[in-house]
A and B are shown apart, each in its own frame.
Chain A
Amino acid sequence: MATAATFDLNDDSVVVIVGTGSGGGVLANELAQKGVKVVALEAGGRYLPEDYINDEWDSFGQLAWTDPRTTSGDWRVAKDFSGLPAWIVKAVGGTSIHWAGASLRFQDHEWKALSNYGAVEGASLLDWPLDAAEMAPWYDKAEAKLGVTGTGDRPRLPGCNNYLVFEKGARALGYSEVHTGNMAINSVEYDDRMACQQTGFCFQGCKWGAKWSSAYTDIPRGEATGNLEVRDRAHAARILHDDTGRVTGVEYFDRDGNLQMQKARVVCVAGNSFESPRLLLNSASSMFPDGLANRSGQVGRNYMRHTTGSVYAIFEQPVRMWRGTTMAGIVRDEARHDPSRGFVGGYELETLSLGIPFMAAFLDPGAWGREFTTALDSYENMAGMWIVGEDMPQAENRVTLSDVEDSFGLKVANVNFSDHPNDIAMRNHAYAQGQAIYRAVGATRTLPTPPYPSTHNLGTNRMSERPEDGVVNRWGQSHDIANLFVSDGSQFTTGAAENPTLTIVALAIRQADRIASEMAAGNL
């Protein structure tokens, strides 16, 4: 850290990256490793494993993005958690501190959802301008960076109690692709990080550093090159441009609340699928009255959050699901595309556990009385899984600017979301299968639990072949502005059934390669 660079605000040779999570943090390091000068602006503070807290609410208070947002639409989150549409992180390292570590490649067919599913009424499906073959080498690099178990020669993690219940039920149902997952959690020491100690609290930041996070890997390594400066507690306000329409820098509020402007040769936006479109929309100007990169009108649209939900179940005997890896195993059999089930796309089932404090908040928000409390009384005998499936992009599921302003006077993001009928059919199928898994091992009660505030937030600056269909091209580069990139999950054309981080990382590594070569060629 002693070697971390500092760059002048007027240095217009730097790449400015907004956000330092699995997209921005990886991009920053990859560029720095190639000798590109980078200033990364991060709205949150800096926390490392020794700072993380094994306590759900205390950790939430430390890490979560709790700046105001507003919600609308028919999703239950808008009613139960109207100011908290997402459970994501505001810190150096972003949501890579909080993520569970599941690292799955897209299935081949998912890169071409429109072609493979056909048009779906009410959905704005599109094919990615990429495919599995093109992404394969980038996935290889991403898996090696994250140390993904079950890839390369890395063994899988051992199964905890919650997994063992899940596995036995899944096998009883005849599922065959059942294992402890492809996890960015070390099963053995790897890349100077130790092996998982089955501590639980994966969502609260891994105190051992066994789970990959950019906070304590890519960020410090990028800083060690002398090419990366991370400015924490720097809240991006607006991207500026010149009269040729090229972006020239980023205005931000520094840790003291003072407005600064960092000049830039290239700007990369990686603030998650709410903050990235919000920043582009808040950067509207006379030349770009609808916001930057938004000639298509697509900025903020097609917000996806995965079709989620949980199934908890109660057994006669203790499970103690909180002991060990939070996301400890997976059933992949339902991830296939098989419209005979009554929906397009597929879903994964992955174990999940919450502690008592969050179980009380999320099991059935707003519920009270004995139907609710008798479930918690059996907490020790509870097992749990999470559903993650492909949801349909819809033009009206979108991030727009709210009338509400944050403490800086910047308009906040409003998140409008309503389920598509395909999402509902998939969720109901998954609830039935999840409950059947647990009944097969003797569950006395099953609890189909509604979606939590979203952690997988995707698609609001989507990638498209044609400029009129999306915001960025196959490199994550704005269709409208050559030196403006999007580097997070908001560039997803469709969401696939898989947890998104591995794909975000693979795209960031690939984008760094592109930006560095284009800079070297004088095209940027």
Chain B
Amino acid sequence: MSLRKQGLTRRALLSRAVAAGTLAVAGSGFIAAPDAAWAVEVTAISEHEMATLLQMARDIYPHDRVGDRFYVIAVKGYDSEDQKSTVAEGVAALDAAAKEAGFDSYLAAGWEADRVAILRSIEDTAFFQTVRGGLVTGLYNQKEVWPIFGYEGESYSKGGYIDRGFDDIDWL
């Protein structure tokens, strides 16, 4: 990480990375993108746990055109007193599964295929299913994500598509 050479700036702080090979970088009490495009504060769970949740979210529903900032929104709810122990146990179990697979931690596995194999080994656990199930709405029900998929959402206020291309297909 080249940021390491920049001294004790905010970016240097952020560069104490635990999320090898990913965008997520841990600092004190928050994690943020290396380019500072987004940051999320953690209060109840650790930076490592939040970084792990973020990477899990990306690996469960990987969309290369969807930025981390959307995935962060989808998992931010786990940073709560209610979820704290669930997350701690779940992430510990995930890291244990990673160790069995020969990695220091889940985040230390650099290739998605390796991380997916680790996730497959825990996919029947309540923790995995809770995270996966939560993402179905947590990620895909963000209106800001829809345009990335081309989905146009609400149309009544625009008069529907009767004059806006309901039958405009031109390649058939």
Contact = CB atoms under 8 A, between A and B. Distances in A.
Contact of A54 (B116, B123, B154, B167): B154
B7 interface: no
A268 interface: no
Interface stretch (A18-26, A70-78, A305-313, A314-322): A314-322
Contacts of A441: 172
B67 to A, nearest CB: 14
B137 A57 contact: yes
Contacts of A207: 156
A357 B156 contact: no
Interface stretch (B33-41, B57-65, B91-99): B57-65
Interface in B98-147: 116, 123, 132, 136-137, 139-141, 145-146
A323 B165 contact: yes
Q: Which of A54, A160, A199 has the most CB of B within 10 A?
A: A199
Interface string B146-172: 100111111111011110111111011
Nearest to B150: A380
Contacts of B171: 315-317
Given A198-B166, A368-B132, A379 B150 contact: yes
B62 A55 contact: no
Interface string B8-22: 000000000000000
Nearest to B131: A368
Interface stretch (A130-138, A370-378, A385-393): A370-378
A200 B150 contact: no
A409 interface: no
A356 interface: yes
Range of interface residues on chain A? 35 or more
Interface stretch (A2-10, A161-169, A233-241): A161-169
Contacts of B150: 318, 320, 379-380
A380 B149 contact: yes
B167 A158 contact: yes
Nearest to A441: B172
A357 B61 CA distance: 13
Given A356-B151, A377-B65, A379-B150, A164 B132 contact: no
B149 A200 contact: no
A159 B167 contact: yes
Question: Which 3 pairs across A and B sit closest by C-beta, in order of nearness?
Answer: A380-B150, A199-B160, A197-B160
18 contacts: A54-B155, A54-B157, A158-B166, A160-B167, A161-B167, A197-B160, A197-B161, A198-B160, A198-B162, A356-B140, A357-B137, A368-B61, A370-B62, A372-B61, A376-B63, A376-B140, A380-B150, A441-B172
Interface of A: 54-55, 57, 158-161, 164-165, 168, 196-201, 207-208, 315-320, 322-324, 355-357, 359-361, 366, 368-370, 372-373, 376-377, 379-380, 441
Given A55-B153, A361-B140, 6 more contacts: A57-B141, A161-B167, A196-B160, A208-B156, A369-B60, A379-B149
